[in-house]
Structure 1
Amino acid sequence: MLLSDIDFAYACILQEGWDGENKSALQGMFEFGPEGCFLLEERGVRVGVCVAVKYAHSGFIGDLIVLNEFRGKGYGTQLFQHSVNYMESQGITNLYLDAALAAVPIYEREGFRTVDRSLRFIGTVPGKPHAHVRPFQPTDLRQIITMDRKYFGDDRSFFLTRNGTFYPEYCFVFEKNDAIGGFIMGHPGIGVLTVGPWVVWDETVDPWQLLESLVHYYGDKPLRIGALEKHQNTVARLRNSTSFRERVPCLRMVLGSTENVGSHPALISIGSGAKG
């Protein structure tokens, strides 16, 4: 994929009605690893895209989309196999993805197996300031990156830094006695604010304080939150809230690993389906 193909990739996302990522998010994935952003053409006509995000030890495959008029011809499988082959050529054998239910058989044929359900919620909460929650500052990044690497299980520093640089107004930390106990980041989607990464490692902290503080400053526009089903506390609170509705879930699938990167209880939400 070339930078000039970003508009096409974004059009593919709009076709699917996926509202979690805007065009800037696609540009971020291209900046992170253009060699992992793939475009499939048939006789000079662009028919689909796929993005492979390579971290230090693991990788995520996402945004696999074929235009409606070209479906049923094996193009999606070609894109997917090319992405997997690319990852393996880079020495990445632990691969993850969030699968739309209709696409699960494709991934299973390639050896992927389901390890969890990846849930999606949309709604809001009443905004409320909290004494120990403050706006993110650039000097927080070093500790945030260190703790995120510990609990996520790989290095998301590029995306954390980019989120903090482009959208600092949607980033907050919990700090008490000069120690950071967690953080939340948001970024604009399409008509929503996508929440995540959202990580809290201090077990005495109520993660909802970060979310309520974010809404207090951001406003009451819809929030989009993704969470693995094994994160029972998060899922229960979202399901029990009358202001959130649950969308059709995805399946978190994995190839080649006995672990599930991003499944630690400190991770309140996922960052995105395409990046973990």
Structure 2
Amino acid sequence: MDPDRLIIRRLTRADFPLCRQLVEQAGWNQLDDDWERAIRLEPDGCFVGDLNGVGVATTTCCRFGTTGWIAMVLVDRAARGRGVARELMAHAIAYLRDSGAQTIRLDATPLGLPVYQKLGFRIEFELVRYAGRFPGAAAPERAVRRYADASVMAEIAALDAISAGADRCSFLALLHPAAPPSFYLNRDQSGRLAGFAGFRKGRNAVQIGPVTAVTEAAGAALMADLASAFPGTACFLDIPLANPGAIKWVEARGFERQRGFMRMCLGPEPRDKPEWMWASSGPEKG
């Protein structure tokens, strides 16, 4: 493609109509809140591709310490096959490298997988998106805590850093951009945090995650909390194949596989624990 025809610029809130259009075209789950979160996390790392003066593509970047994350690589159907995604990805990689990222990660759909592999990304592990509705009736909430409790948020961030392989406290604080995020908690007999569960609203379903648990019992208890909070509500969960306990739990309750993602990285592979993930945060932030 003629590089003069594609201009990559910073994404702003004025581009949200384009973002919504691309999300709807792809059938993805994001709302304006997801784009707002991306801008608040990394305002200089969100990009639009203008082809012949018309916005046709997006991507977002953020950094968790020395780990960078790329997401929301969306290209209008009419502009595909013209190298737009490749140019945007090269721009995003350069931005993260210049910002100090040593490792760059993303969750690849089957459509994007060949593009990322050509850029040198390697597959780390596979996740499966499960879609369904929690059975049962609403029950009293048992373990909800608010972000305003800084000590609890510090515990959550510490456990998440082990599970995700990066310090994502900035993301966790913005899980619900319009309000303080709330998490379901599970503690062991000594009072130590054994797991936590978050969620956010989506265009098609509630995105469950991040859900992290150090034991299967803690994970099952957290999932029961979520089932009580969202009975009969359409939900998505992105679960690593490395956590068969989580897969068994959701399949036993009628959730079905919708599609797969490949967690990929460029650079040194992080030390994370996908076996602790009962649901990732989704492709936006891993």
Provide TM-score, normalisation by structure 2.
0.86
2:26 counterpart (16, 20, 32): 16
Change (3 A) 1:116 1:27: same
Q: Deviations over 1:13-38 (max 9, x none)?
A: 1110012x321011111111011101
Q: Deviations over 1:157-212 (max 9, x none)?
A: 122112267466863112455443211111101131110010123x3733122122
1:266 Cα deviation from its structure 2 partner: 2.3
Secondary structure class of the residue paired with 2:259: coil
1:3 counterpart (7, 10, 13): 13
- Structure 2 residue aligned with 1:210: 222
1:141 counterpart (130, 150, 153): 153
Q: How many residues align?
A: 272
Change (3 A) 1:179 1:62: same
1:193–1:223: 8 Å Cα contact kept in structure 2? yes
Secondary structure class of the residue paired with 1:198: strand
Query: Is 1:54 matched with 2:63?
Result: yes
2:157–2:172: 8 Å Cα contact kept in structure 1? yes
What does 1:16-55 align with in structure 2 at a 5 Å threshold?
16-19=26-29, 21-55=30-64
- Structure 2 residue aligned with 1:271: 281
How far, CA to CA, are the matches of 1:128 and 1:143 in structure 2? 31
2:240–2:277: 8 Å Cα contact kept in structure 1? no
Change (3 A) 1:77 1:237: same
Change (3 A) 1:204 1:230: closer
RMSD of aligned residue pairs (Cα, Å): 2.4
2:265 counterpart (254, 268, 276): 254
1:196 counterpart (209, 213, 216): 209
1:126 Cα deviation from its structure 2 partner: 3.1
How far, CA to CA, are the matches of 1:186 and 1:2 in structure 2? 25
How far, CA to CA, are the matches of 2:86 and 2:177 in structure 1? 36
Secondary structure class of the residue paired with 2:233: coil
1:119 Cα deviation from its structure 2 partner: 1.0
Unpaired segments ≥5 residues, structure 2: 1-10
1:52–1:60: 8 Å Cα contact kept in structure 2? yes
1:219 counterpart (227, 231, 236): 231
1:154 Cα deviation from its structure 2 partner: 1.1
How far, CA to CA, are the matches of 2:93 and 2:185 in structure 1? 36
Secondary structure class of the residue paired with 2:24: helix
Code of the aligned partner of 2:219: P
1:196–1:271: 8 Å Cα contact kept in structure 2? yes
